[in-house]
A and B are shown apart, each in its own frame.
Chain A
């Protein structure tokens, strides 16, 4: 039998390394592409969590659509050539390393923490649900049933954002 932990470390390391490369590359195109790699390996981590639907959406929406638009804009504005580094001098670097270390330190208690029982799912319940309703159904049912109102409110928010973008882009309608 495969050990899923091996896959977790494999994709986890790729995600971390490519995320680091994303913020340190000077060429915007390279940064965008490393971000795609990050998103892809996070999708793989979702698969390891039995959340194939979320994984596919991650690739479809983020890697397949949003990042393509990012690249489109970068190329259209011809920003693709390497510019100056964002990291300003040794002082900035020192502060960044310090803050990063502090954040990692804050994550340390998570290693010994356990989930409260109220939000824990019984073992095997996710698999049973997916067996019963299909992999998409187990996400869709709560989304369009119990959480219908929040879902619709989110869609109104998105609509407002779209209208705003059109108004900003086209001063004369």
Chain B
């Protein structure tokens, strides 16, 4: 019991600090990548290659004057940054980030809490994050902020549904909602991104919308709403919204790596998930997990500086008229296919089943892209009369 408490406390402490440092580095990475894509240098003055820029930013935010609008609801105005900050950080708690670590006192699983409801816990807690944004928008007593908050609540509820639906396919294959089981299943067969390609696409798009990142950052939309829900926020409170957004990105990336890319699994080898746990395995699997998460974080930044913002009606139409029906029909088709393979042919999850499902997915993907394109981008423009 004492061992459990002490190890849990250490894990919480380490994970919390790693995420905070990661978030700080991520803000720098975002600016450097943005500069790189726009062919300029970006912040490179503070420390070597600007590595200390986040520290300078943090210091600036703490020292800045904190303004509070006269007609704001003081309690909620102060509470809102906290409400968006806490769920963003606690969601990471159920994601396994490395293979178990052997210590002198026993084997420590490398996850803060491997809850039996695992992945549902993430959905539940991340659905609370919207309160922070909505309350910030309302408590500011500012029309632009209120519009941002309203947009956020509508957007996050809409895309939460598509996100939840797209992961049902993962649960169908894994047969369990515990994330460690999902990873174990992928280690024995292929990564779920192959048999569930379309599910991953839906999940990725919804995750962009859930974290309020471009092309779906309508709650902020600086071109129309000044800064949306955090228009009235300054100094450290503003910074907390920022940290919340980036830790949501970290969690979403880690979740994508876990659900679809094998979590801490090292590909093409069973060395990491069989036999006794060793420290070397823990370190290498941690590196694999970090690398996968980082790849998604980079994709987030890449998408942000590539795509323009959606219009609000386009956002709603995409969520309700495209992603939700798509996810629902995808579950139906996939459940039928899995039932057929499992019951009629009698295979359990393995490379054979994964490859058949991959074939199904490729057919669906081609049909989807053809329908979304409708002869406009992929094939049409050159042939259209000018």
Q: Which of B96-124 contact A (CB under 8 A)?
A: 115-117, 120-121, 123-124
Query: Across the interface, which residues of A come within 8 angstroms of B73, CB to CB?
Result: 29
Question: CB-defined interface of A43-74 with B at 8 Å, one 1/0 digit per residue?
Answer: 00000000011011101100111001101100
Q: Which of B153-161, B192-200, B243-251, B314-322 makes up part of the contact surface?
A: B153-161
Minimal beta-carbon separation of A137 from chain B (angstroms): 8
Which residue of A has the minimal Cβ distance to B138? A75
Query: Across the interface, which residues of A come within 8 angstroms of B19, CB to CB?
Result: none
Query: Across the interface, which residues of B come within 8 angstroms of A56, CB to CB?
Result: 117, 120-121, 123-124
Out of A33, A63, A68, A136, which one reaches B157, CB within 8 Å?
A68
The answer on a CB contact under 8 Å between A59 and B128 is yes
The answer on a CB contact under 8 Å between A72 and B120 is no
- Asked whether any CB of chain A lies closer than 8 Å to the CB of B131, the reply is yes
The answer on a CB contact under 8 Å between B138 and A135 is no
Which residue of B has the minimal Cβ distance to A75? B138
- Asked whether any CB of chain B lies closer than 8 Å to the CB of A80, the reply is yes
Query: Across the interface, which residues of A come within 8 angstroms of B134, CB to CB?
Result: 68, 71-72, 75
Knowing A52-B115, A68-B134, A68-B157, say if A75 contacts B177 (CB, 8 Å): no
The answer on a CB contact under 8 Å between B127 and A64 is yes
- Roughly how many angstroms separate A56 CA and B124 CA in the complex, as a whole number? 6
Number of chain A residues close to chain B: CB under 8 A: 25
- Roughly how many angstroms separate A163 CA and B117 CA in the complex, as a whole number? 33
The answer on a CB contact under 8 Å between B131 and A136 is no
- Asked whether any CB of chain B lies closer than 8 Å to the CB of A31, the reply is no
- Roughly how many angstroms separate A134 CA and B175 CA in the complex, as a whole number? 9
Out of B123, B138, B146, B153, which one reaches A68, CB within 8 Å?
B153
The answer on a CB contact under 8 Å between A68 and B1 is no
- Is chain A's interface secondary structure helix, strand, loop, or mixed overall? helix
Which residue of A has the minimal Cβ distance to B161? A65
- Is chain B's interface secondary structure helix, strand, loop, or mixed overall? helix
Which of A65, A76, A136 gathers most chain B CB within 10 Å? A136
- Asked whether any CB of chain A lies closer than 8 Å to the CB of B149, the reply is yes
The answer on a CB contact under 8 Å between B153 and A71 is yes
Minimal beta-carbon separation of B35 from chain A (angstroms): 37
Which of B125, B127, B130, B160 gathers most chain A CB within 10 Å? B127
Minimal beta-carbon separation of B152 from chain A (angstroms): 9
- Roughly how many angstroms separate A69 CA and B49 CA in the complex, as a whole number? 46
- Asked whether any CB of chain A lies closer than 8 Å to the CB of B33, the reply is no
- Roughly how many angstroms separate A69 CA and B152 CA in the complex, as a whole number? 11
- Asked whether any CB of chain A lies closer than 8 Å to the CB of B76, the reply is yes
Knowing A75-B149, A80-B138, say if A64 contacts B177 (CB, 8 Å): no
Query: Across the interface, which residues of A come within 8 angstroms of B205, CB to CB?
Result: none
Knowing A59-B124, A60-B127, A71-B153, say if A136 contacts B177 (CB, 8 Å): yes
Which of A36, A64, A65 gathers most chain B CB within 10 Å? A64
The answer on a CB contact under 8 Å between B130 and A134 is no
- Asked whether any CB of chain A lies closer than 8 Å to the CB of B176, the reply is yes
- Asked whether any CB of chain B lies closer than 8 Å to the CB of A1, the reply is yes
- Asked whether any CB of chain A lies closer than 8 Å to the CB of B341, the reply is no
Query: Across the interface, which residues of B come within 8 angstroms of A68, CB to CB?
Result: 127, 130-131, 134, 153, 156-157
The 4 closest A-B pairs by CB, nearest first: A64-B127, A60-B124, A59-B124, A135-B116
A-B contact pairs, 14 of them (CB 8 A): A33-B76, A53-B117, A56-B123, A59-B127, A64-B123, A64-B160, A68-B153, A71-B153, A72-B150, A72-B153, A75-B138, A76-B150, A135-B116, A136-B176
Residues of B participating in the A interface, judged by any CB pair closer than 8 Å? 1, 73, 76, 115-117, 120-121, 123-125, 127-128, 130-131, 134-135, 137-138, 146, 149-150, 153-154, 156-157, 160, 175-178
Residues of A participating in the B interface, judged by any CB pair closer than 8 Å? 1, 29, 33, 36, 52-53, 55-57, 59-60, 63-65, 68-69, 71-72, 75-76, 80, 130, 134-136
